[in-house]
A and B are shown apart, each in its own frame.
Chain A
Amino acid sequence: RKEVEQDPGPFNVPEGATVAFNCTYSNSASQSFFWYRQDCRKEPKLLMSVYSSGNEDGRFTAQLNRASQYISLLIRDSKLSDSATYLCVVNADQTGANNLFFGTGTRLTVIP
């Protein structure tokens, strides 16, 4: 079983739409959760961390449900520039080495 699983998509949505991505993780001891964004042929970059109470950054909202081991990312008012692959990332490392487990990514295309 994979550490982190997410729907690969692709999600094709019109500009202005709201879109949500979901992700599940297998290790109940996981403590830190993140969404990274990866543009085509580019490296992943941190989009936002996910906190227990849920958090918002502009048009982006991240939610965490520890009981269900489930993470979500909501994008409101989609822009063309949001087109990318969104990686769900979990840190279950208790050693301090800062190791991350990555999902395979959900591809989003925002259509004019």
Chain B
Amino acid sequence: DVKVTQSSRYLVKRTGEKVFLECVQDMDHENMFWYRQDPGLGLRLIYFSYDVKMKEKGDIPEGYSVSREKKERFSLILESASTNQTSMYLCASSFPQASGSPYSYNEQFFGPGTRLTVL
């Protein structure tokens, strides 16, 4: 059974603090993703990684960075937390699509989410 875990379910931080959100998957997936989910806006991709030490910006990378030192672990870093980063953060992982084939989609498996509040 695929398992994606996130380090915290709830987190409260103060403005200006550095925040680390950790995600671990146990299915040997190459791809890992960080999303945030806000009411009325849905899930928005922050960053993704398709291999160790590789990272790509998603739709809303500003104010975030990521780290992928090991295949199973993908960390999201808020360098200086701000109140507009209060959100639900969801990590996901998947195998990559078959090379050159957009049809060969592989399901993304999500972690339980971290609800971050920045005061």
Contact = CB atoms under 8 A, between A and B. Distances in A.
B94 interface: yes
A70 B85 CA distance: 32
A98 B99 contact: no
A98 B42 contact: no
Nearest to A102: B43
A1 B95 CA distance: 29
Contact of B40 (A44, A49, A104): A104
Classify chain B's interface size: 20 to 34
- Interface SS of chain A: helix, strand, loop or mixed? loop
A82 B61 CA distance: 34
Contact of A49 (B58, B105, B111): B105
A71 interface: no
B112 A98 contact: no
Given A43-B90, A43-B111, A44-B43, A98 B106 contact: yes
A50 B89 CA distance: 26
A42 B112 contact: yes
Contacts of B97: 93, 96-98
A46 B109 CA distance: 8
B111 to A, nearest CB: 6
User: Nearest 3 pairs between A and B by C-beta?
Assistant: A43-B110, A104-B42, A31-B102
5 contacts: A31-B102, A43-B90, A43-B112, A93-B102, A98-B95
